Amino acid sequence: MRIAIDAMGGDHAPKEIVQGAMDAVNEMEDLQITLVGDEAQINPLLTNQKNIEILHTTEMITSEDEPVRAVRKKKNASMVRMAQEVKEGRADACISAGNTGALMSAGLFIVGRIEGIDRPALSPTLPTLDGKGFLLLDVGANVDAKPHHLVQYAVMGSIYAEKVRHIPSPTVGLLNVGTEDGKGNDLTKKVFAKLQEAPLNFIGNVEARDILNGAADVVVTDGFSGNIALKSIEGTALTMFSMLKEAFMGSFKTKLAAGMIKNDLKGLKTKLDYSEYGGAGLFGLCAPVIKAHGSSNARAIVNAIKQARNMAAMHVTDTIKEKLETMNDKGGQ
């Protein structure tokens, strides 16, 4: 098993990426890693080269680059070379913490789509109160989704939840403005009918208010609404942490109290930290492609590596392909 990693992508690259790679090969015996990026920057950080190779390139895609154009023009960028390692069969999966749009383009144009999948979906796993987590997809790969795209998301999400997250017969919910059947806009009404007929554990509509309570294992939505949900959740959590911090710094008494519960609050932050579940998978491509969070530290990279390895080891891509073929044979799509 070999995983290609963009060593130059993310806010803390290459340091945390290289550290994460070294930690991962230490933990996982069967793992080989190709770090794609600038040798001159990677080498001094690579204190243990066991099972790690460097694929040298100095070109990079930055967060300011226009995604599609960058992937087309910067043929030697670390992210592009990383995707080519997968495309040409030298790696089984790849990971980048860099420009999300560029990774989606690299995934689409270089790694390529699974036959039958019209649009890949970006799929983070978000935390729930009970610590189980849920998969939300799509969060922005495809902002003008058609009904059958969402059915494909449901199929891909279910397979991932079952194979990688070990949830038997995962529940699938459709993100909507109310829980009753028949609720929603034109898109969700059409999707609802299709999901009822699909070979899935579809439990109906779920509301954004309930998804952090674990309303469903897989929550399906179009890329626009999913992006709004994800960023609303992130923004609210960050705002509340800011407010908490402010409240705690108010007086000597509150500072004292804050000191007493510091560890418990850290636990809360960890519970909300979705890098614990790995990065966001780009589902529907010919091999696992993982978008690690831009602010990933070594630990987040290790989690993303585990996730990519499990996706490859559990043959998630092949299973999706087979499931789609069965559904097409039955006219079930």
Residues that bind a copy of itself (CB under 8 A): 129, 140, 143-144, 175, 177, 184-186, 188, 207-213, 221, 223-225, 227-240, 242-244, 247-248, 250, 253-254, 256-258, 260-261, 264-265, 267-268, 271-272
CB of 176 to a copy of itself, least distance (A): 8
CB of 92 to a copy of itself, least distance (A): 31
- Measured CA to CA, the distance from residue 89 to residue 181 in angstroms comes to 45
CB of 36 to a copy of itself, least distance (A): 26
CB of 210 to a copy of itself, least distance (A): 7
CB of 258 to a copy of itself, least distance (A): 8
Closer CB to a copy of itself, residue 107 or residue 223?
223
Closer CB to a copy of itself, residue 72 or residue 271?
271
Q: Which residues contact 208 (CB under 8 A, 6 or more apart)?
A: 175, 229, 232
Amino acid identity at 300: A
Closer CB to a copy of itself, residue 199 or residue 267?
267
Closer CB to a copy of itself, residue 193 or residue 330?
193
Closer CB to a copy of itself, residue 49 or residue 242?
242
227, two tokens: 């992006």
Closer CB to a copy of itself, residue 184 or residue 279?
184
CB of 90 to a copy of itself, least distance (A): 33
177-195 burial, b at 16+ Cβ within 10 Å, e below that, comes to eebeeebbeebbebbbebb
The total number of residues shown for the chain amounts to 333
Closer CB to a copy of itself, residue 78 or residue 105?
105
- Measured CA to CA, the distance from residue 267 to residue 273 in angstroms comes to 10
* Alpha helices for the chain (secondary structure H): 15-27, 39-42, 67-73, 78-87, 100-106, 147-163, 186-197, 223-248, 252-272, 298-313, 316-329
- Measured CA to CA, the distance from residue 307 to residue 6 in angstroms comes to 16
CB of 60 to a copy of itself, least distance (A): 20
Closer CB to a copy of itself, residue 193 or residue 257?
257
Three-class SS of 211-273: HHHCCCCEEECCHHHHHHHHHHHHHHHHHHHHHHHHHHCCCHHHHHHHHHHHHHHHHHHHHHC
CB of 282 to a copy of itself, least distance (A): 16
Q: Are 290 and 95 in contact (CB under 8 A)?
A: yes
Q: Are 291 and 305 in contact (CB under 8 A)?
A: no
230, two tokens: 């994800």
